[in-house]
Structure 1
Amino acid sequence: MKENKFELMYTRFHGMNDRKIVFQGCFENETEKCRDSLKIFLDDIELKREIIEREGADVRRRYAALPYKVEREYYFIIDLPKDASIIAKKLKLINIISKNETRVICCINLEKFIKNRKKITYSIDEVKVQDNKAVISGWAITKEKLKVKVSDAKNGGNIRNELKEIYREDVINIFPEVNEEYINGFKILCDGFKGRNVVIKLFDSKYVEEEKVTLINSSTKLKSVATFKKAYGYYKRYGLFNTISKVKQKVLHLEDGVDYDKWIREKMPTLEELKIQKNRVFEYNPKISLVIPLFNTPEQFLRELIESVRQQTYSNWELCFSDGSGVDSPINKILEEYSDKDERIKFTSSEKKLQISENTNEAISIATGDYIAFADHDDLLSPDAFYEFVNLINKYNEVDAIYSDEDKISMDGKKYFQPHFKPDFNEYLLNSNNYICHLFMVKKQVVDKIGPLNPEFNGSQDYDFILRCSEITDKIYHIPKILYHWRAHKDSTAENPESKLYAFDAGKRAVEAHYKRLGIEAEVTQPECYGIYRTQYNILGEPKVSIIIPNKDHILDLKNCISSIIEKSTYNNFEIIVVENNSQEEETFKYYESLENQYKNIKIEYWPGKEFNYSAINNFGAEKAKGEYLLFLNNDTKMISSNCLQELIGYCQNERVGVVGARLYYPDETIQHAGVVIGLGGVAGHIFLNTPRGQIGYFAGVICAQNFSAVTAACMMTKAELFRKIGGFDVKLAVAFNDLDYCLKVRKSGKLVVYNPYAELYHYESKSRKKEDTKEKIKRLEKETAFFTKRWNSYYLNGDPYYNPNFSKDKFDCRVAK
């Protein structure tokens, strides 16, 4: 007989019964009788077992690291007799390998095991501090509503906290014996600071569990046993070299693995390059008016700012100050000194103290330039800033606005850090946050048309102004170079966002006003962090959505997918079209029959082709669809957010939008998809790949709705009319790149592709997908790669417009290229 070797993964108490113990694992050589090969003894007494079996994509994923294929997972559950620890000493798990061989898989000291049992089954997964806010993540199993109390470990005083419920698919998969409703994922948000010891109390009406934790800043170096385990897990996944690099990055506080201060100094123009810039004669020499509001500006900062402007290699500029400090301003003499020294420097002052909008407007009133540029009173410009702007204006016609990348500079001006590398103009990212910020320059004619800064939005007056600019022009260009250095100090929103909470509220109102002017009905909120805005668009009418799911066998995956839609979706006007693709198993067709008998809005369409062609299969499904919107969905996905369809429709209904994609997770709670970048990792790659759930990514990119060149068709919505007009998926791309090709065709037609982070699903299979390792598959992949890269060669020559060229093409986390 075959050897039925059992691989034990977990031993634990039952999630809802403290007299039951669960042994979870799989068999190496699974046979019909493998279940009988596992025996459980209380000392010498064999115990009866309850057995739960699970199979599907999540099981295959969980055991993917084993050297053999696992299709099925087993949970062996035993009941302990009362006073078990008194009448017996050991609990043994015995595996009968063959007629002549048995092995003891584990031998548990029962008294110790029971003594360490938790009254409430729970786990504190992560503790960190960001922006002086503590975030404590974990889960607990309770029949009643979970309650939380946080107190100071030193003085016992209560700490005000907010409990957020989190859906934890990973925990649900580990506890199949527990009803899903009893599994409480949570995030506890409370005031905190690095090093503070707090006590977390989790309780319901019957039980209480306490755990003491230390609040750890998210940027501190690796430490503690938990961190060691995390590092070891990273080593097992990515290897020794990458782990050493990661540890070095954490310990030395490097910017994405690069010493940014050294990096930027090496990128700065040399004296020879600056000399060449000064001598260049442009065909068009527009006058640039840099307008700056002043308010009790420290003398040193003001002088450094002025000198950074005077050192510009492009000379046709004027520096327009408005001093809103009021009577007896301490900086008037400095302004007079510089205006006498350089006629390009001029200023106006007020006897009353001015708020920032009216102060900036006073500076604009004395500007005479063709373009108006904006800067803060204590920041610095790179000496080539104006040169780069004018160079771009001469390169392209009708430039209405320009912005650059930026970084931060320390108070003493000695260290550069936190670079903000931005995409080219990104309409939906701008609706999510003011990513443009500095350095921003706009044509004077545009300023005259939209009007001055609005005091109603003080604190985010620049955000409101840029949004108004975007409403009348899309000729907004981006220079992917660091041309502006934002001085970071404790009272600035750059380093201490809580110092100006009113500014973030003003930003929210600015986005709302933007939608109102455009006639768009939407709700704007700040769900996760300061300055990041979520938009939920009101759906016009109740349009029908056709959900197209190709399938070949894998019924458990399909059942998981369809059940999540039927049970969770709060949007009901949809049809599901399962496109049957040459299934072989009888069970598959029985399931199809049961679906059509049970649901009027589900139908099975039989694709007539014999060879797999993803494009042709989905095109066939689209031909049968009756919906106004088509949602292409993989059969190995599972809907998380109940409003997933509303989120997708809300964006897709915009006339300017052609495609909307979702945020997808692997079963291990890491990101599988948050947008696609052409050229990343080779042909194309998913940005933020493998980023843990809960992390927001580079400049909150994970949680910002934004434009991308493409999204994955594992979950992709598009307008049915547009799909047919463009010709659907190209059948020449049978397996690879067909979804990306469609997205790029949509963009070529003038429509936008949008990633919506609040349409959330699990995507089970891709992370452990088999490699293209046969000669036939490799040949097909090479052919499709050549076809795709040739068709869209401009993206490889010029770069993806939504991915900054200063980022590495080999990493997926927006780290600086070395």
Structure 2
Amino acid sequence: MKNKFIATTYRFHTKDKNKFLVIGWFRENTIGNNELRVCLDKKKIHFTMEEKDFVGGAVKALDGLKVTKQYFLWIDLPKGWEACRNLQVMNFYEGEGGPALEISTKRLQHLQGKMAKYIDGGNLLSTGFRVSGWYIDDGTVELGLFDKSGKKYDAEIKRKRRSDVQKLYPENSADEIVGFEAVYKGDAPKKVIVHLESSTKKADFPITLVYSPLEKGAELFDKYYRKARAYYQQFGFKETVKRSIEKITVQDSINYKAWIRRNAPTAKMLQAQREAHFQYAPKISIVVPLYKTPENYLREFVQSVQAQTYKNWELCFSDGSGKDSPIEGVLNELTHKDPRIRVVYTGEQLQISENTNEALKIAAGDFIAFSDHDDLLAPDALYECVKALNEDRSIELLYTDEDKVDMKGKEFFMPHFKPDFNIDLLRCNNYICHLFVVKREILEQVGMLNPKFDGAQDYDFVLRCVEKSEHIHHIPKILYHWRAHKDSTAENPESKEYAFIAGGRAVQAHYARVGIDAEVMQTEYKGIYRSKYHLHGEPLISIIIPNKDHTEDLEKCISSIENKATYKNVEYIVVENNSEKEETFAYYKELEKKNPKAKVVFWDGTGFNYPAINNFGVEKAGGEYLLFLNNDTEIVNEDCLEELLGYCMREDVGAVGARLYYEDGSIQHAGVIVGLGGVAGHAFTDFPHESPGYFGRIVMAQDYSAVTAACMMMRKNVYEEVGGFDPQWAVAFNDVDLCLKIRKAGYLIVYNPYAELMHYESKSRGYEDNEEKVERFNSEIDNFMRVWKEFLDQGDPYYSPNLTLDKNDFSLRVK
């Protein structure tokens, strides 16, 4: 059958033992004219069906079609179903068809006794182990960790929201779906057993923490065998073979190997680079500290430098291995063969900063590049840097994208496609990292690496350099390959706790130098820092809330601020917009009567024009700061206003946005990418509540080109400077237009993930669900693309050109 129904999973309702759920999708992405029937021993039984957006985003069918819809079949099992033989889901088109899924009642009875849970996995830490997963809690479930002898491990258990699970278990509330992370500090067993037990069910899930090679292979085989067997039981041999081929051969946009093949320079291109002549050909000194470096890694690194298509370089080594260095012979050989390689010896064992500084002392280049001793440079790394310097001679700092390379130096993975210079992101994490190239004049101003920050000495150095530089250039190409070590901070964050502490101190020292009063704190994500700004004074914040009826939403919005927010110097400017219900106006009177901070003002325009409504509200506002807020929002954290205000008080910041959640806890807004979907779109929409996002970008404060005006704070003088909202954008893109005007005026737009709100989106206006609205929306798209054509053509500087504009998950661009 052409429009085949593919059942992907099935389970029992967690609260009704006679209700069974089958989830699946159609190849044509819709049920269309097909008919589904559910039979028990060939007798039709009742079921209801729901169409939902695919959890986790679209999937690709075998024929290349994208599937975005899935179907939930809630089946009512009749009394005595256990005495029957088989349950069938039948798929028909114009009377023809057959079984799409067949399950024996013995299998159903087995499933009925299963506990709803999933263990994501576990891993060793330097001080113990970590296990994570989720389960459905009926109020009686207890979790414990044991070894095979029954010894219990008292772990610290943190609960986490799992909005991804809630979409698959809609019959359960968010509180009943328990995501957890259990961390045990102490000696770890070879295998830990996760034990879950309720008043009626229990389950054990073994996690192997220490593998022998044979056990690892056996577990992988067992894992894939069980998956294949389950698929065979559902779909039969033919479909299982198809599925296996699909898994092996389908190249998705996230396939980095395929991306490399499409984007890496060819041999012909590299040869053309070798023959190129630059008008400006600066010498680049590559500075590298060595410490008992394995010979094969050292030779591979040197070979990657010697393979550079740009030849005016020198390689400056400092061997900090101490007396009787095991690599002295190799270094003598290398320097004898290539005079561009220089080495300094001190005869002493040196820490990382001291070692790097010794190499810096012998560097004579116009620009200094930094590398680790066991990594690899792409062959065009220096060429691309010099090419950029010839295009713009004012550049003082350069940095590039990077990826990881395995221990054999063969397989590349985990590419990091970075934004253009992003000071607030840099204050959260050293995203610049490699390859970093600095002009000698900047180096002379900031000085050498500081041993006080060993472990994060490069982070401190980068921060000092950007403080002195006005022209920082990002090359959006993978030009550096970071070798992945088991004990590196990239692979095992617990192994270098001192480095993360030093990183926090580096950011704190940076704030002290630039005069920002903020406290730097560690987060649960190693190497990611949170900055909490100290407020000076309590300026008045005018909170501008448009409203048309929907008084329950408005009441919830204002009450959340009144009852939860710790910042109290606010006023509420409720802009009445053509409400029709008598009770709305009665509510306004009661609101102003009981809350002296609230003022209702009446906009006399017609229709819906978000910019005009807000501009009218600003005219009535007395605050130094403006907070534009949708009436269908509710603050989550009590310091939400302080978080917004702290960033907004900076003179270089024009507007600040928040992290917004849908009602189920998933991400609604974590910044706006201009160009996404053709015009502009929210980053990471529908990501799980607890997800850190691409390289942690959901959980890090950073600069964006725009944020949503559903919650956006700015100084009133900045708003007036750029002329406020433009009424030509009646419904869509008015906030993006305003933010781009603010950026054009020289200010930053900051997304702060620690200002958190629920956003019950579009309750107050409705969707583009009729011809008039669709026409208006399309005209605003056309107008936006005309007004901001140059910006759209150049691309959003805070989003890599290597990432897709078709999805909001920061996946790789296909073409």
Match in the other structure for 2:690: 694
Q: 1:184 to 1:783 in 2, by over 3 A?
A: closer
CA distance in 1, matches of 2:733, 2:242: 32
Name which of 146, 168, 183 aligns with 1:190. 183
Name which of 778, 781, 787 aligns with 1:785. 781
Instruction: Indicate whether 1:438 and 2:434 are aligned.
Output: yes
Listed one character per residue, the Cα deviations across residues 572-607 of structure 1 (whole Å, up to 9, x for unaligned) are 111111111001111211222221121111121111
Instruction: Indicate whether 1:134 and 2:127 are aligned.
Output: no
Match in the other structure for 1:161: 155
* Structure 2: 5+ residue stretches without partners: 1-11, 17-68, 72-108, 210-218, 232-240
Deviation of 1:13 after TM superposition, in Å, equals 7.7
Listed one character per residue, the Cα deviations across residues 326-361 of structure 1 (whole Å, up to 9, x for unaligned) are 111111121121212111110101211000100000
Deviation of 1:538 after TM superposition, in Å, equals 0.8
Matches within 5 A, 1:300-315: 300-315=296-311
CA distance in 2, matches of 1:437, 1:412: 22
Listed one character per residue, the Cα deviations across residues 486-533 of structure 1 (whole Å, up to 9, x for unaligned) are 111212222222221211111111111111222222222222211111
**C-alpha contact 1:357 1:461 (8 A) present in aligned 2:** yes
Deviation of 1:253 after TM superposition, in Å, equals 12
- Partner SS state of residue 474, structure 2: strand
Listed one character per residue, the Cα deviations across residues 182-210 of structure 1 (whole Å, up to 9, x for unaligned) are 989664431489984212579xxxx9996
- Partner SS state of residue 703, structure 1: coil
Deviation of 1:227 after TM superposition, in Å, equals 11
Match in the other structure for 1:806: 802
Deviation of 1:553 after TM superposition, in Å, equals 1.0
Q: 1:516 to 1:138 in 2, by over 3 A?
A: farther
* Structure 1: 5+ residue stretches without partners: 1-9, 15-64, 68-112, 232-243
Q: Which moved more, 1:767-776 or 1:525-534?
A: 767-776
Letter in 1 for 2:280: Y
Instruction: Indicate whether 1:399 and 2:398 are aligned.
Output: no
Instruction: Indicate whether 1:501 and 2:501 are aligned.
Output: no
CA distance in 1, matches of 2:798, 2:661: 22
Match in the other structure for 1:258: 254
Q: 1:545 to 1:282 in 2, by over 3 A?
A: same
Letter in 2 for 1:661: G
Match in the other structure for 1:596: 592
Name which of 320, 332, 336 aligns with 1:336. 332
CA distance in 2, matches of 1:518, 1:425: 17
CA distance in 2, matches of 1:330, 1:703: 43
Deviation of 1:651 after TM superposition, in Å, equals 1.1
CA distance in 2, matches of 1:369, 1:264: 31
**C-alpha contact 1:166 1:184 (8 A) present in aligned 2:** no
- Partner SS state of residue 686, structure 2: coil
Deviation of 1:161 after TM superposition, in Å, equals 2.4
CA distance in 2, matches of 1:245, 1:390: 49
Letter in 1 for 2:342: K
Q: 1:312 to 1:13 in 2, by over 3 A?
A: closer
Name which of 136, 145, 154 aligns with 1:151. 145
Match in the other structure for 2:383: 387
Q: 1:564 to 1:752 in 2, by over 3 A?
A: same
TM-score by length of 2: 0.77
CA distance in 2, matches of 1:171, 1:678: 30
**C-alpha contact 1:706 1:755 (8 A) present in aligned 2:** yes
Q: Which moved more, 1:745-754 or 1:525-534?
A: 525-534
Listed one character per residue, the Cα deviations across residues 760-786 of structure 1 (whole Å, up to 9, x for unaligned) are 111112499855343322332232222
**C-alpha contact 2:285 2:366 (8 A) present in aligned 1:** yes
CA distance in 2, matches of 1:167, 1:570: 24
- Partner SS state of residue 773, structure 2: helix
CA distance in 1, matches of 2:143, 2:713: 42
CA distance in 2, matches of 1:13, 1:597: 46
Matches within 5 A, 1:768-779: 771-779=767-775
- Partner SS state of residue 804, structure 2: coil
Letter in 1 for 2:541: V
Deviation of 1:159 after TM superposition, in Å, equals 2.4
Instruction: Indicate whether 1:681 and 2:674 are aligned.
Output: no
Match in the other structure for 2:748: 752
CA distance in 2, matches of 1:173, 1:591: 35
Match in the other structure for 1:22: none
Match in the other structure for 1:95: none
Match in the other structure for 1:716: 712
**Cα RMSD (Å):** 4.0
Deviation of 1:150 after TM superposition, in Å, equals 3.0
Q: Which moved more, 1:788-797 or 1:317-326?
A: 788-797
> Kindly, what percent of the aligned residue pairs are identical?
51
Name which of 442, 456, 461 aligns with 2:457. 461
Matches within 5 A, 1:370-769: 370-766=366-762
Match in the other structure for 2:48: none
Letter in 1 for 2:325: S
Listed one character per residue, the Cα deviations across residues 615-640 of structure 1 (whole Å, up to 9, x for unaligned) are 00011111111112111111111211
CA distance in 1, matches of 2:248, 2:167: 38
Letter in 1 for 2:132: V
Q: 1:12 to 1:282 in 2, by over 3 A?
A: closer
CA distance in 1, matches of 2:434, 2:649: 32
Q: 1:352 to 1:158 in 2, by over 3 A?
A: same
- Partner SS state of residue 698, structure 2: helix
Instruction: Indicate whether 1:277 and 2:273 are aligned.
Output: yes
CA distance in 2, matches of 1:628, 1:222: 64
- Partner SS state of residue 676, structure 2: coil
Q: 1:594 to 1:817 in 2, by over 3 A?
A: same
Q: 1:13 to 1:259 in 2, by over 3 A?
A: closer
Letter in 2 for 1:259: N
**C-alpha contact 2:658 2:755 (8 A) present in aligned 1:** yes
CA distance in 2, matches of 1:364, 1:421: 28
Listed one character per residue, the Cα deviations across residues 227-254 of structure 1 (whole Å, up to 9, x for unaligned) are 99xx9xxxxxxxxxxxx999999x6699
TM-score by length of 1: 0.77
Name which of 281, 290, 294 aligns with 2:290. 294
Listed one character per residue, the Cα deviations across residues 74-108 of structure 1 (whole Å, up to 9, x for unaligned) are xxxxxxxxxxxxxxxxxxxxxxxxxxxxxxxxxxx
Match in the other structure for 2:362: 366
**C-alpha contact 1:222 1:247 (8 A) present in aligned 2:** no
**C-alpha contact 2:548 2:764 (8 A) present in aligned 1:** no
Deviation of 1:740 after TM superposition, in Å, equals 0.3
CA distance in 2, matches of 1:222, 1:333: 48
CA distance in 1, matches of 2:660, 2:777: 24
**C-alpha contact 1:401 1:477 (8 A) present in aligned 2:** yes
**C-alpha contact 2:162 2:178 (8 A) present in aligned 1:** yes
Letter in 2 for 1:529: Y
Q: 1:552 to 1:805 in 2, by over 3 A?
A: same
**C-alpha contact 1:255 1:418 (8 A) present in aligned 2:** no
CA distance in 2, matches of 1:651, 1:547: 17
- Partner SS state of residue 702, structure 1: coil
Q: 1:603 to 1:227 in 2, by over 3 A?
A: farther
Aligned pair count reads: 692
